[in-house]
Amino acid sequence: MSEIKRVALVTGCGKRDGIGAAVARSLSSAGMNVVVTDIASTGVSDLHQPKRADDPDWRGVDSLVEELAGASGEASAVTGDVSDPAGVSSMVGHALDSFGRLDVLVNNAGAPFSMGHGDIEAIDPDEWDKVMAINLRGPFLMCRAAAPHMREKGFGRIVNVSSVAGRVGSKANAAYAASKAGVLALTQSLALDLGGQGITANSVLPGFILTSRSLSGMSKKLGQDDIDDETIARSTPQIPAGRAGTPEDVAGAVAFLASDAASYINGQSVIVDGGNVRL
């Protein structure tokens, strides 16, 4: 009897240097078939993206699928809005149509760091709502759509990408921090609801991870059109690990939580920040 390949759906994969793409690569290397998604092929374009983050040769999720073609699993791409039930249905349906099952869901898609950024009185209520729609409503809708198919197979791994900001807050970024705190509570509730059915739900909480998305946030915060290595070094918190994190650091934690080895880990929050926050 041939071994059944697990199928993973990862949201927010449009950037070459992003956490979503790194997670997709890691799960593909582990032998899974992977569906990669984003709201548009190349993801969300941040108005404050610095020049060093430009990547003109990258075609987003389509390029990622081509890259994964040589791995041990298959890959497919689909675009959709995680905050829209129709978009969510389309993405989950694409996974089922392409591979016949859905075993692993990684909710990574997120609002741009610069959206809803600022002191509390400066945050536009509409931007607050947009951040909540993407960062919290999105994971809820994705889990809601995926859970029945995981129940049917008696197996599932849900990994929600939250943030250390969801635990300790974030200066001038209340919308982001509040949305990520909501993801932690959602994850714990999912663990209670689904835990007896072979399904686990856990969160990873990245700290400072060097991506084009985080660079865009720095660009807006510092009012600079470009970000050089010296600026990054000055802006990086005093992390015990002595460096900023990489998307691969987060992907390693996600891949473990998505594996059989993590079958007895449920409802947990795994901080990936080099020791900066110690709980």
Q: How is the chain split into domains, by residue range?
A: 7-271
- Side chain identity at residue 54, one-letter code: D
Rounded-to-integer distance, Cα 161 and Cα 254, Å:
9
* Phi, psi angle pair for 34, to nearest 5°: -125, 130
Considering only residues 56 and 106, tell me which one the structure prediction assigns the higher pLDDT.
106
Q: Which residues contact 264 (CB under 8 A, 6 or more apart)?
A: none
For position 216, what pLDDT does the model report?
61
Residue 136 is given by DSSP the state: I
Q: How confident is the model at residue 56 (pLDDT cuts 50, 70, 90)?
A: confident
For position 278, what pLDDT does the model report?
81
For position 215, what pLDDT does the model report?
72
Read off the tokens for 186: 């959602």
3-state secondary structure of 165: helix
Beta-sheet pairing, 269-272 with 199-206: parallel
Q: What torsion, rounded to 10 degrees, do the Cα atoms 192, 196, 197, 203 define?
A: 40
pLDDT at 86 over 80: yes
Point out the least confidently predicted range of 61-70, 135-144, 148-157, 234-243: 234-243
Rounded-to-integer distance, Cα 180 and Cα 132, Å:
9
Q: How confident is the model at residue 42 (pLDDT cuts 50, 70, 90)?
A: confident
Rounded-to-integer distance, Cα 95 and Cα 150, Å:
12
With vertex at residue 194, the alpha carbon angle to CA 72 and CA 139, rounded to the nearest 5 degrees, is 70
- Overall average pLDDT of the 57-86 stretch: 92
Q: What is the share, in percent, of the chain residues with pLDDT greater than 90? A: 73
For CA atoms 5, 24, 8, 62, the dihedral sign is negative
Q: How confident is the model at residue 1 (pLDDT cuts 50, 70, 90)?
A: very low
For position 225, what pLDDT does the model report?
66
pLDDT at 180 over 60: yes
Active site residues: 176
pLDDT at 222 over 70: no
Q: Which of 270, 269, 214, 266 is nearest to 245 (CA)?
A: 214
Rounded-to-integer distance, Cα 201 and Cα 263, Å:
10
Instruction: Look at the domain 7-271 and name its fold.
Output: Rossmann fold (3.40.50)
Q: Say how many C-beta atoms besides its own lie within 10 A of residue 27's C-beta.
A: 31
Quote the pTM value. 0.93
Q: Share the mean pLDDT of the chain.
A: 91
pLDDT tens-digit readout, 106-119: 999 999 877 888 89
- Overall average pLDDT of the 133-140 stretch: 99
pLDDT at 49 over 80: no
Rounded-to-integer distance, Cα 258 and Cα 9, Å:
11
- Overall average pLDDT of the 262-276 stretch: 97
